[in-house]
A and B are shown apart, each in its own frame.
Chain A
């Protein structure tokens, strides 16, 4: 089963748009990423640029409304993620515990919807998605 580990770094929400992560921390992350790779569990990972450079699109009125960052109301802002494939939720949490994070930061561990998780009527639609995913992979 696949789990997404969502990284919530401290202070990211108030960072200036041009902020990049501390180089020393990037090196430690590289080591951790190598452990995930060597264990054969890593499926995807990426880091996100400062939220101040992002945008939010809301659909409250049925029409898409765009707001540019930064967002004063944001308290916990995503900084990056890993997708890992492991045998259990406990194993996923075990990996999260080993990540090189700083005080008052956290990692949220969430299960990715797999085909088997969906009700039968939804599976039919998902089959279309799976075809699409293969096409997306082929284009890379």
Chain B
């Protein structure tokens, strides 16, 4: 099963403060362990929300709001996708992660939906479409 590991933003990450050399080194070492164990599928960092936008939906109406967004603790600063045998295994990996921020911080762990989670409602046609698209994405990398 796959898990998305979300690193929450802080005032500093939202202000565009770059991580220290020490933290980057520790993070690099942690990433290396993830790769060597074969659990890391993806990982990215996001730029501060001040460079982003939100699109709100209401019927056919679309409203674009430019960042920054105030609720810093719920914003996301980066993520990993990890392949683990259980939620517990994923949590163990996250506990071994260096504190991703200089002060207080939080990481959220969420299971990724797989095709089998949707049951019969996810028709063979829809599954085939999904598989085709994923193959195309892989082919582009």
Using a CB–CB distance below 8 Å, which chain A residues touch chain B?
2, 4, 6, 20-21, 23, 26-27, 30, 33-34, 37, 40, 42-49, 51, 53-60, 62, 64, 66, 74-76, 78, 80, 83, 89, 93, 96-97, 99, 101-113, 117-119, 121-122, 125, 128-129, 132-133, 135-137, 139-140
Contact = CB atoms under 8 A, between A and B. Distances in A.
Given A57-B106, A111-B52, A4 B44 contact: yes
Contact of A57 (B21, B31, B47, B109): B109
A117 B46 CA distance: 11
A57 B104 contact: no
Contact of A121 (B21, B45, B54, B95): B21
A47 B137 CA distance: 16
B105 A93 contact: no
Given A42-B137, A125-B21, A112 B46 contact: yes
Interface in B90-125: 91, 94-95, 97, 99-101, 104-113, 117-119, 121-122
Contact of A44 (B31, B42, B59, B69): B42
Contacts of B87: 53, 55
Contacts of B58: 103-104
A49 B57 contact: no
Interface in B48-100: 49, 51-59, 62, 64, 69, 71, 74, 76, 78, 81, 87, 91, 94-95, 97, 99-100
A129 to B, nearest CB: 6
B59 A103 contact: yes
Interface in B7-54: 18-19, 21, 24-25, 28, 31-32, 34-35, 38, 40-47, 49, 51-54
B55 A64 contact: no
A30 B56 CA distance: 20
A59 B134 CA distance: 35
Contact of B44 (A75, A83, A104, A109): A83
Contacts of A118: 18
Q: Which of A23, A118, A121 has the most CB of B within 10 A?
A: A23
Nearest to A46: B112
Interface of B: 2, 4, 6, 18-19, 21, 24-25, 28, 31-32, 34-35, 38, 40-47, 49, 51-59, 62, 64, 69, 71, 74, 76, 78, 81, 87, 91, 94-95, 97, 99-101, 104-113, 117-119, 121-122, 126, 129-130, 133, 136-137, 140-141
B105 A51 contact: no
